[in-house]
Amino acid sequence: MDRKTYTAELAGLRELRTEITAAEKAVAAAQKELDKLTAHRARRVAGLAGYEGAQAAPIAKASGLSVGDVVRIAPLLDPTPVAVRTARAEDRARAAAPARASAPTGGPGPAVAVAAALTGPAAVIEPPALAPAEARAVAGESPCAQLPGAAASALAHGLRETEPGVQADSCALVSAPAPAAAPALAAPVTEAPTEGEDQAVAEQPAPVVPAAPVAAAPRPEVEAGPRELPALPEGASGVRFEAVAAGLVSTRPRFVQQARATVFLDAAAGMLAVRDQVVRVDLGARTPGEVLDAVLATAPGTERVYITAGAPWHDGAERYSTLKDAVAAWLNTPSERWTTAVGSGRDKLAGHFVHQRQPVGRYAPASAPDSTSTEIRSMGEWFDADGADVVTCRDAFRLLWQALRRHWDDAVLMGSPSQTGRDLWSRTIPTSGRWAGGYPVLSEELRGLLHATGGQGRTELLLPPRVPERLPALVEYDRTFAYAKHLWKSPVGTPRRITAAAFAAMTEQEQTKALMSCSHWNVRVTVPAGWNHVGLLPAPVTGDRAWVYPATPGATFTTWAGGAEVHLALSNHLAPWRIEVLSGLLFEDGKPLDEWGKRLKAAWADLTNLSRIHGDERQRQAAYLASRAVRSVLLFGLGGFAQRPRLVSGTTPIGEALPAGVEILGQDEAVVTWQRQAGFSRDPYAHPEWAAYVWSGARAALLDMKYRQGKEVIGHAGALHARPGTVVYFGTDGIALTERQMWPYRGEPGDYLLKGHLSGPVEHPASQEQYLKLRGLGRAELAQTGADR
């Protein structure tokens, strides 16, 4: 090739480049138009679900989608019988778990047992992915949004697109590749993606499984069968359990959150609080569209509406079999002026979130669906208004923001306390030192292990004969701002695996240090002979309870527990339990939550003091409610770190093979309904190790909490310091007993506060529901008679 030819080829290449660029722009424009059309189709399909006689098949034919895709967009159109989707049998069958075995240990003494290796994780079959725009139209952000029209099913598997590592106004999300299409199955399967969110003490949304009836009858406590927990695999398959996720780090945000224009609405009285004004509004039939019309006519530009009283989503609930169905129907009430928000960009969120009492509705004008959306939320996400009027709720929200602003220059109140808590925490990530680059996220395998083995708060009703049939009294103690006491130390970095042999080879001092460090242990437990008090360690069981606390002398079980609990079982002042360490994970001690906790405790203390000394009764109540909101920010912010795996539910015709690893929920003459876990999203703020460590410490403190003056221990409180046979109930951060205790109360986080006293004799509650009724009576009696008797 000569120079002339070379020059001519270069010129031709430039022309080709221009043509390719033009073609790329044309393709991008066409793709944008296609995304817009498919998103519009998704909205229209979701809207059709509001018609009572709507069916998936004709909608699929008209829209050019498959029936499965229609069901993903509008789960209310799922042809599976409602009875099957909503039924939860008392003794539901469980799918066979992967084979596991533990090599037994022979004799007494230090732990010498070694857990056998597990098989690798089973292959996960994902549902086919929707088109990107359609996925955005139907999928919300975990854990805050739900599919339009969703009632029995929850979040689609697709995530709304956002910038990696950037937290949107209501939820932190990362962009993730769409799931791969599912391989062919031997049996036809209809899958409806659901969100698995647990959080009794985490984010308010509960796992989306068939809901309980609206008026469920009290159910006595029943014993469930044992449940096998995973162990640490040996060999190459165990390496991932000592690793972090590649390229996934919790980093300090580089943007400032934008506040949303917020108003407060008493839907019962029709009173709207807008800034410093209160206006009466006509809400009509209280549908979402009428609420939005009334609010925006008075306060144009409103982006968030908090309902402080009235709960319009419960209107007509008696027509539905579950509250969740009633709420879903209300959220999706057809409107000519409003449509479900589909989300676009960093700060625009998609879809509704269906929850029995704290739902979230997100709406956009039907004429401009891509414009700014408006949320309808419950004030109950932050605190129980307890009869407070709309002005007091507004003032509480303002006091909350002011208290947080004193400790965070860039504090912004987001949609829920969970989102606010996690955002505030992200702004305490250090800018210097070892973790200045952020905190690494553990591998998916390790997060899965912690999810399966790290229980939350202890909830247990002790039944006769362990306690009297007739209680001499029912006395309730509640730990003040309990979790705040357990944030000073947390696990960081990659854990180090401790085998049974390695633990046995340690000196007693080294073993104690390991247990008192940030650690998580797989142990075989034996209750000592002669034990006559409450159980100390959780044992896994099937069913709703998930965990029980064996206390029968000689009982043996295998479980996982945090180092604080294991150390307490070994060193309690009544009788040491026999513990065999099978394996463990030992983390480096760090302080990732310490600064966050200190600032929240300071804000809480400021508001608590204000609620006691303010001269105006309304402001005292507002300050108290704001202090409760700080508690919610910490409680649910911590739970947000847990990040639960997604749940996928589906149906398979009777006689056909079920997918691997499913849990059967029920069946009828035609189909079996099941659910299975579908893995974790790539969440840069997923730190279940922090939540598990704090929960473990809080469970241990329910049994034995030390009062300190400096480094000196000056007293004890907790169940183990009450007489045997007097503990009636454990409830996350409180206990109920049959007699008063001399535990000092200093008003500090973790202290035991006398909360209720019901004079006896009292018939022992046969269920948690009965206990909660008695608890309410006890609180009322104490408020009437005073703490001193």
State pLDDT tens for residues 454-500: 888 899 999 999 999 999 999 999 999 999 999 999 999 999 999 99
More confident residue, 305 or 46: 305
pLDDT of residue 506: 94
- In three-state secondary structure terms, 483 is helix
Strand-pairing partners, residue 589, are 491
Written in H, E and C, the secondary structure of 160-204 is CCCCCCCECCCCECCCCCCCCCCCCCCCCCEEEEECCCCCCCCCC
The mean-pLDDT minimum among 343-347, 433-437, 755-759, 769-773 falls in: 343-347
Q: Is it the case that residue 39 has pLDDT exceeding 80?
A: no
d(CA 521, CA 122): 24
Return the DSSP state at 552: S
Confidence of residue 78 (pLDDT cuts 50, 70, 90): low
The span from the CA of 659 to the CA of 650, in Å, is: 10
Average pLDDT, the chain: 78
* Number of residues that this document lists for the chain: 789
What's residue 278's pLDDT?
95
Residue 775 forms beta bridges with which residues? none
User: What phi, psi does 698 have (nearest 5°)?
Assistant: -70, -40
| CA distance readout (Å), 487 to 458, 512, 589, 774 | 18, 21, 12, 32
C-alpha closest to that of 171 among 636, 630, 635, 626: 636
- Residue 237 pLDDT class (50, 70, 90 cuts): confident
Q: What pLDDT is stored for residue 718 in this prediction?
A: 96
Read off the pLDDT of each residue in 763-785 and give the average, rounded to a whole number: 93
Mean pLDDT, rounded, for 743-770:
92
Q: What is the pLDDT of residue 349?
A: 55
Least confident of 109-123, 243-257, 610-624: 109-123
CA distances from 141 to 146, 515, 684 (A): 8, 37, 14
Question: What is the pLDDT at residue 222?
Answer: 39
Percent of the chain with pLDDT over 90: 48
What number is the average pLDDT over the span 638-660? 76
* In contact, 439 and 430? CB cutoff 8 Å: no
Angle CA 45–50–51, to nearest 5? 100
For 486, phi then psi, to 5°, come to -115, 20
Q: How far apart are CA 431 and CA 595, in angstroms?
A: 13
For residue 82, the model assigns a pLDDT of 43
Give the pLDDT band (50/70/90) at residue 21.
confident
> In this predicted structure, what is the pLDDT of residue 36?
78
| Average pLDDT value for residue range 708-720 | 89
CA 252 to chain centre: 22
With a cut of 90, say whether residue 225 has pLDDT above it. no
Residue 696 pLDDT grade (very low, low, confident, very high; cuts 50, 70, 90): very high
Which DSSP string corresponds to 156-172?
-SS-----TT-B-SS-B
Q: What is the pLDDT of residue 114?
A: 25
Would the pLDDT of 79 be above 50?
Answer: yes
Residue 91: pLDDT over 50: no
In this prediction, residue 144 has a pLDDT band, given cuts at 50, 70 and 90, of very low
Q: For the chain, give the percent of residues with pLDDT over 70.
A: 76
